[in-house]
Amino acid sequence: MRTLLDLPRLGADPGSPFPATNEALKAPNGLLAWGGDLDPRRLVNAYARGIFPWYSKGQPLLWWSPAPRCVIYPADVYLSKRTARRYNSGEVRLTADEAFEQVIRKCAEPRQDEAGTWITGEMLHAYIELNRMGFAHSVEVWRESELVGGIYGLALGPVFFGESMFSRRTDASKMALIALCMELLNRSISLLDCQVSNPHLLRMGAVEISREAFEEFLPDSRQVIQPDGSWSPGFTPRSRWAYRPGSR
């Protein structure tokens, strides 16, 4: 059985190449390489190839490309009738890129029954920098002046790479996800990457696709990826959400 020491170790140069994703381990699913750092150039290069970092405090920096891949096609996201009513009621205010640092810090807070967080201080600062550069974005859910939910990730070409979301009120993270999907449709972004599946995402319309199918959506490696800047100006997700009988 291959161990961590058998995996490729990334070099110090942020521009050093990643291994081919088909070399990732089957167990643990998708583990591809280790080492390197979270330099923004390396992160953009990684995500553009369908690779992301995930590790806990005290571990080396680990890089992943799991298969199958959990994704949401933005037009197929699903809300229950109850949550749709809450979304359409206007009881919350939705914004984008107005509180990115607050969102990622709340996502980093330990969850119930969890001892720690995978969003280390190093990761937190790296993604805040990516937001400043115009690559990373957040959607915020406010109840009056309180931030009650949110989601963040990276937008690169036709894919939004979702990283984490949080909720402090009933359905707040679901409303953030819906607002994000509506914005992705507005921006002609074809796919929301959820990395690996869980029952919550599957209930909201996520599906699993092969690594090969997922990589067909990735940006053209021959092109330089440009940030799309802040999403705050012109963010208008508040169109009514229609419940679709017979959906999940």
Confidence of residue 247 (pLDDT cuts 50, 70, 90): very low
Cα→Cα distances 69→66, 72, 207, 247, Å: 6, 10, 8, 22
If asked whether residues 97 and 155 sit together in one domain, one would say yes
| pLDDT for position 224 | 82
Q: What is the pLDDT of residues 50-87, one digit of tens each?
A: 999 999 888 899 999 999 999 999 999 988 888 888 88
If asked whether residues 117 and 55 sit together in one domain, one would say no
Domain assignment present for 138: yes
If asked whether residues 42 and 138 sit together in one domain, one would say no
Contact 240, 79 (CB under 8 A): no
Q: What is the pLDDT of residues 149-183, one digit of tens each?
A: 999 999 999 999 999 999 999 999 999 999 999 99
Cα→Cα distances 46→92, 107, 141, Å: 35, 22, 29
If asked whether residues 47 and 116 sit together in one domain, one would say no
CATH number at residue 13: 3.30.70.3550
Both tokens of residue 246? Answer: 């017979």
Domain assignment present for 220: no
| pLDDT for position 246 | 41
| pLDDT for position 245 | 46
Beta bridge partners of 69: 209
| pLDDT for position 157 | 93
Q: What is the pLDDT of residues 86-145, one digit of tens each?
A: 888 888 999 999 999 999 999 999 876 554 568 899 999 999 999 999 999 999 999 999
Confidence of residue 185 (pLDDT cuts 50, 70, 90): very high
Q: What is the pLDDT of residues 9-65, one digit of tens each?
A: 999 999 999 999 999 999 999 999 999 999 999 999 999 999 999 998 888 999 999
If asked whether residues 190 and 145 sit together in one domain, one would say yes
If asked whether residues 58 and 80 sit together in one domain, one would say no
If asked whether residues 116 and 194 sit together in one domain, one would say yes
